[in-house]
């Protein structure tokens, strides 16, 4: 019988999962990059409920918060920044402008 989208193989004795294969995710590098993206996405989701002042405090506190947490908070500040600060440019330039604007 044919395999079901690379997730498993069916044998006459039953269902056998294929080790190390994630459902419907094409990976060209390592799984560590995927885990990093998922981690920063989850931190952004959790931090999205924080106030603007709290996000600024998180970004500025180098010793208290992890690098991933501070990066997620900065990304949320960049997204929420007014266009007069960001100028509608690419993300890297918007991030630099937001850092200069808030003195980070």
CA dihedral (81, 70, 91, 49) positive or negative: negative
Q: List, for residues 45-77, the tens digit of each pLDDT value.
A: 778 788 889 989 999 988 898 888 888 889 889
CA neighbor of 89 nearest in space, from 97, 80, 101? 97
11, β-bridge pairs: 14
**For residue 20, is pLDDT > 60?**
no
The boundaries of the domain holding residue 42 are: 30-102
Whether residue 8 is contained in a domain is answered as: no
Record the pTM: 0.63
How many domains is the chain built from? 1
Note whether residue 24 is domain-resident. no
Cα dist from 64 to 29, 42, 60, 76, whole Å: 31, 19, 9, 18
Q: Tell me, yes or no, whether 49 lies in a domain.
A: yes
Residue 17 lies in a domain: no
């Amino acid at each position: 019988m044919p395999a079901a989208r690379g997730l498993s193989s069916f044998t006459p004795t039953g269902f056998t999962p294929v080790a190390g294969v994630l459902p419907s995710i094409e990976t060209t590098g390592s799984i560590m990059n995927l885990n990093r993206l998922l981690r920063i996405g989850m931190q952004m989701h959790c931090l999205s409920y924080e106030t603007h002042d709290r996000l600024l405090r998180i970004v500025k506190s180098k010793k208290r918060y992890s690098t991933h947490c501070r990066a997620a908070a900065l990304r949320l500040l960049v997204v929420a920044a007014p266009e007069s600060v960001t100028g509608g440019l690419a993300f890297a330039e918007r991030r630099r402008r937001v850092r200069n604007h808030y003195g980070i």
